[in-house]
Amino acid sequence: MQAVRQDPLLGSSETFNSFLRRAQQETQQVPTEEVSLEVLLSNGQKVLVNVLTSDQTEDVLEAVAAKLDLPDDLIGYFSLFLVREKEDGAFSFVRKLQEFELPYVSVTSLRSQEYKIVLRKSYWDSAYDDDVMENRVGLNLLYAQTVSDIERGWILVTKEQHRQLKSLQEKVSKKEFLRLAQTLRHYGYLRFDACVADFPEKDCPVVVSAGNSELSLQLRLPGQQLREGSFRVTRMRCWRVTSSVPLPSGSTSSPGRGRGEVRLELAFEYLMSKDRLQWVTITSPQAIMMSICLQSMVDELMVKKSGGSIRKMLRRRVGGTLRRSDSQQAVKSPPLLESPDATRESMVKLSSKLSAVSLRGIGSPSTDASASDVHGNFAFEGIGDEDL
């Protein structure tokens, strides 16, 4: 999300996106024709839109908005995501669809019914909820997403908070429901599949969540209850994603020998104390999606710092207007929250001060990366020990 501004390079950018679009279409050998594309809402509701195979992400997003009767000025608050539906029905986020992508080609080229396209809000700061909630459709989309996140366990809720939320549901008090939800831990966060990190020790099983300008790592140390460590994006000097293909055990690097699956790592350099930076590495197939989340959080912080708006400048077509759907579809209200999972554990903070945690000297990641692979963080802030 970027501030709206006149860009002298806009023309060349659109030309480049057009080139990428044609390349994707030609590579997959997909002719341009009208098709029906299924897009899911966070609660699993299906929205079927008629699009062209050559339509880019923004085109499809506009078609979905038209189908739901979401106003044009709120389209920029939402994005399309490619997800993989797991056996239990939960979504594993693969990536946010980029502007140059052709969503129909992206999802069908994977040749698996597991992959879906999901509509979800695209911002992190809950203050922007106010803009969206002023509209009936926007309110229903946020409400459906929040109920779904609570049911999945992405938003952390106590029994008393759960009771209050259910009471508000019964009264159909959607705005009050969202106001209460905004106060809950991990509201608006994106949760990733279980993976491995080297914090606070090597090969530590963790569950990573992204939101509220931070990466949260939920973990269990031997003999201890579930704990959480939070890494603020403003204390990350830089980060990078690296990939490697490990050789099978006992094999050599001789040509023709079998190789294992691609191993992805997200590593970020974190300001642990005033004069100490330390690398933290997360090994996950979703490392690229984590990096995209970090970048969008930084972009949002910089836009807000400059006094800009996250509202996107919509690209108008030759006719000058957006395509509106002949038939519209209402966002279905989700069912009442089920009783809280008795097996779901409460969680305590790993430490209120990261400097108080006993950390090994992890050092720099073992995989080398060129400077172009490193994402510098313009929102990085120097801090003193008293801030930790």
Q: Provide the CATH topology of domain 189-245+263-314.
A: PH-domain like (2.30.29)
- The predicted model gives 331-339 an average pLDDT of 80
- Of the options 2.130.10.10, 1.10.3720.10, 3.40.1000.10, 3.10.20.90, the CATH number for the domain spanning 1-122: 3.10.20.90
pLDDT band at 87 (very low <50, low <70, confident <90, very high): confident
- Specify the range with the lowest mean pLDDT, choosing from 190-199, 330-339, 340-349, 364-373: 364-373
Structurally, what CATH architecture does the domain formed by 124-188 represent? Up-down Bundle (1.20)
Contact assessment for residue 122 and residue 97, using Cβ atoms and an 8 Å cutoff: no
Instruction: Give the model's pLDDT for residue 187.
Output: 98
Structure tokens at 369: 């990366």
What is residue 68's three-state secondary structure? helix
Q: Is a pLDDT exceeding 90 seen at residue 18?
A: no
Contact assessment for residue 50 and residue 63, using Cβ atoms and an 8 Å cutoff: yes
Structure tokens at 72: 């044009």
**Pick from 276, 265, 223: nearest CA to 368:** 265
Hey, where are the domains in the chain?
A: 1-122, 124-188, 189-245+263-314
Each as own residue / partner, the long-range contacts of residues 137-142 (CB below 8 Å, 24 or more positions apart, any chain) are 137/68, 137/69, 137/70, 137/71, 137/74, 137/331, 138/70, 138/71, 138/74, 138/77, 139/174, 139/175, 139/178, 140/174, 140/330, 140/331, 140/333, 141/41, 141/42, 141/68, 141/70, 141/78, 141/331, 142/178
The DSSP secondary-structure symbol of 54 reads T
Beta bridge partners of 205: 196
What gap in Å lies between CA 51 and CA 101, rounded to an integer?
14
Q: Is a pLDDT exceeding 80 seen at residue 77?
A: yes
What gap in Å lies between CA 5 and CA 307, rounded to an integer?
12
Instruction: Give the model's pLDDT for residue 27.
Output: 61
| Omega cis (within 30) before 200 | yes
Sheet strands side by side (includes 46-52) = 46-52, 34-40, 115-121, 78-85, 91-96
Instruction: Give the model's pLDDT for residue 379.
Output: 64
